[in-house]
Structure 1
Amino acid sequence: MSATTAPTTEPAPGPSSETAAGTAPPPTTPSAPASLSGHIGHLDAHQTAQLAEFKSKLMAEGIYRASIPGTSIAASHDDGTLLRFLRARRFVLPDALEQFRDTEAWRAKNNMDLLYEKIDIQDYEETRRLYPQWTGRRDRRGIPVYVFKVASLDSKTMSAYTKSSQRTNISMSSTSSTLSTAPSTPTSSGFFGGGSSTEHHHKETPARMLRLFALYENLTRFVMPLCSIAPGRPNPETPITQSNNIVDISGVGLRQFWNLRSHMQDASTLATAHYPETLDRIFIIGAPSFFPTVWSWIKKWFDPITTSKIFILPSGKEEVFAGLSQFIDPENIPTQYGGTLPYTFGELPKLDAALASLVHWTPAAGKHADSGEGTLPIGPVLWERHEHKGQWEAIAVGSVEGTDRREVVARLDEGMRMFGEEGEAPEKEKEEA
């Protein structure tokens, strides 16, 4: 893969091992039709037919349920999720079926819904402070922006994290709603690498990775639905199903990269096998002179689609800002990268004005937040529709010392619909249109 030397009309891939890190400016934004191909609202005839057949075959296997019009019964998986699997396999139906089938089996085996809803809040927060974190902001297309400081994953921290992750875990029994204190069995499954979803499905999942999976659940069950209904974003006909990541590798030495190899492989296996097409772009910042060596490892761990989304920004704060600001407004770029957002890695998200306008906080939100009422609480949060009122509510879940937490921390306006509810765009977007 070769680095670009000037902005072009289409995004160009990341660095090659022959190119010094930090010399490539970012790509320019592709046109909406090209970047949204295969997404809701931008399907061609073939893709539409493949989606319909995909649903039919999944229903025949009993791993997908369609919605029932006129009732409260929703589809088991929304179209945005199904299309992620189809795009990941270039709409080749047998391949997408295999990956979806393996993912459903993996989710059942590891009880992923229960893990997110029952995980100890302090365990969740320990994990959140180490890995890619949502800033509460979005790029110009409305895609959420995450920041990841790799230097936080030093050997001492990772050793303590691995130890604590074995202390508590969700029981693998599909009928259990309790926590198990038994440590998980270590395996050789590898954060960034990995083979096919079929290979991964037959391996035991390390406890430390199950915590990381909880962060992906937050992306799909809270962040994406909220970003999809934000007013004023381009292409409101298309739900948000991806994220952008600013990966800061400043201060990371070659030895630390080497020590993180297997962990990076685990993350890649996770993202490509069971959360496909959730990544829009990765912007790498602070690449050291030896990064071409590291890149020679990394490009073997990622699948080709993922590597095409990785871009190295030039060194220097002004150059980094110039690159990021092609895609993200300055007020949504952290100050350390030249923007005006006062954000420190580890903090809870600070919602932008458009997102904040949708959310009506309850007093419970402040009780669980670091900075008082009106901010996101610590721990996992998900969206649920009130059974009787029909109003969407943000529910703070997880557990504290073995006791389940389940509190309404925010509500949307009455009558506000989540994207795709009953197959339509959000109600407010329809009104604005």
Structure 2
Amino acid sequence: MATEQQLSTDSKYDQYDFPTTAPESQPGHPGHTTPEQDAKVHQFRAELEQLGYTDRLDTLTLLRFLRARKFDVEAAKTMFTTTEKWRKEFGTNDLARTFDYKEKEQVFQYYPQYYHKTDKDGRPVYIEKMGKIDLNAMYKITTGERMLQNLVTEYEKLSDPRLPACSRKAGKLLETCCSIMDLKGVGITSVPSVYGYVKQASDISQNYYPERLGKLYLINAPWGFSSVFSVVKGFLDPVTVNKIHVLGSGYQKELLSQVPAENLPAEFGGSCNCEGGCEFSDMGPWLEPEWARPPKWAAPKEDKEADNTVQNEDPGYEKKDTEGQDGAETTA
């Protein structure tokens, strides 16, 4: 049985300036691992090193991939290598530093997606409003590719600086976020037009950013949604199901039991009215000087290139940047 302990770290990869003990007293979570699980972390890292990987091998990241695959090292290795291949093809390592979503304000008229303050556990709150989605109108402003690039950029920023700042402020390791998905205005007829994008976005989250969901509140769920979800639950992992709360229009009491009123935008029953709009404020510990630190990916790329010179001279070595590094935390 796992007991609370210090995170078993590797000095080569683990440089954390925030707490590394998870609040969940569950086996496999940092500070609550068994000797067998610690051994699997070492095995996982050693096998990845043999394949030539040098980035994102910190203990917190490896534990997330292992938890996502029930500590099956071979399955976790497949997930990790697939993720690294995707990161290279998508250009993920550069996005947080270079992506400029200049059309954001226009896009948000149809599909607001934003982080805003924290829940009662100290986790970042992520909000999506799906009722106004009109892809035809949005694609006159932006492209599906740029929408996905923005999504990935925000995942990278969740990993660093958001979660580390929240961990410092809470005094405990936080690796997940509290998500609110507002379904008000979503009808059956709108589903086909947005299904493709939503599926792509969901695939990115599940496949490449594992173990990032803390709680998910589906609010203003339309009539019949609960029945549909009860069928879907049969295909989901029980751990995931326990994180999802389907609520109708009377969601305020339950939502406010998780998110303090002063942190919840007024339109959802809270008392927060950020100047310029909560959806554009990006308020949270990651902007508070006491808790914020420069993210790892903000370092100039040229500073890293010299470190890679020897590795790049080896034709068998596949270059991988350290920017946006999950977990060294760096989160999905």
Mapped partners of 1:126, 1:277: distance in 2: 31
> How far apart are 1:62 and its partner, in Å?
1.3
Aligned 8 A contact 1:165 1:211 in 2: no
Q: Which has the larger radius of gyration?
A: 1
> How far apart are 1:264 and its partner, in Å?
1.8
1:217-256 matches, cutoff 5 A:
217-230=156-169, 233=170, 236=172, 239-256=173-190
Aligned 8 A contact 2:265 2:271 in 1: yes
Letter in 1 for 2:120: R
1:46 to 18, 36, 43: 36
Q: Which residue of 1 aligns with 2:288?
A: 356
Structure 1 residue matching 2:166: 3-state secondary structure: helix
1:133 to 114, 121, 124: 114
Mapped partners of 1:98, 1:310: distance in 2: 27
Q: Which residue of 1 aligns with 2:260?
A: 329
Q: Percent of aligned pairs with the same residue? A: 28
User: Structure 1 pair 219/302, CA: closer, same or farther in 2 (3 Å)?
Assistant: farther
User: Structure 1 pair 212/357, CA: closer, same or farther in 2 (3 Å)?
Assistant: closer
Stretches of structure 2 that go unaligned for 5 or more consecutive residues are 1-21, 301-326
Structure 1 residue matching 2:281: 3-state secondary structure: coil
User: Structure 1 pair 355/228, CA: closer, same or farther in 2 (3 Å)?
Assistant: farther
What TM-score, normalized to structure 1?
A: 0.57
Q: Which residue of 2 aligns with 1:97?
A: 77
Mapped partners of 1:305, 1:160: distance in 2: 40
Mapped partners of 1:282, 1:151: distance in 2: 17
2:207 to 256, 259, 273: 273
Mapped partners of 1:88, 1:249: distance in 2: 27
1:14-413 matches, cutoff 5 A:
32-34=23-25, 36-64=26-54, 76-123=56-103, 130-135=111-116, 137-161=117-141, 164-165=142-143, 206=145, 208-230=147-169, 233=170, 236=172, 239-292=173-226, 295=229, 305-316=239-250, 320-343=251-274, 344=277, 346-351=279-284, 356-358=288-290, 382-383=295-296
Q: Deviations over 1:9-63 (max 9, x none)?
A: xxxxxxxxxxxxxxxxxxxxxx9544x5422112122221111111111111111
Q: Deviations over 1:334-354 (max 9, x none)?
A: 2222222225453222236x9
Mapped partners of 1:132, 1:60: distance in 2: 39
User: Structure 1 pair 62/122, CA: closer, same or farther in 2 (3 Å)?
Assistant: same
> How far apart are 1:64 and its partner, in Å?
2.9
User: Structure 1 pair 61/123, CA: closer, same or farther in 2 (3 Å)?
Assistant: farther
User: Structure 1 pair 386/150, CA: closer, same or farther in 2 (3 Å)?
Assistant: closer
Aligned 8 A contact 2:119 2:260 in 1: yes
Aligned 8 A contact 2:96 2:297 in 1: no
Letter in 2 for 1:228: S
Aligned 8 A contact 1:128 1:215 in 2: no
- Please report the RMSD computed on the Cα atoms of aligned residues, expressed in angstroms: 3.3
Aligned 8 A contact 2:128 2:181 in 1: yes
Q: Deviations over 1:79-119 (max 9, x none)?
A: 22221111111111111000001101111122211233222
What TM-score, normalized to structure 2?
A: 0.72
Aligned 8 A contact 2:130 2:181 in 1: yes
| Greater relative contact order, per chain length (Cα 8 Å cut-off, separation 6+) | 2
Letter in 1 for 2:200: D
Mapped partners of 1:120, 1:249: distance in 2: 28
Aligned 8 A contact 1:268 1:302 in 2: no
> How far apart are 1:141 and its partner, in Å?
1.9
Letter in 2 for 1:134: Y
Mapped partners of 2:204, 2:235: distance in 1: 12
> How far apart are 1:290 and its partner, in Å?
3.3
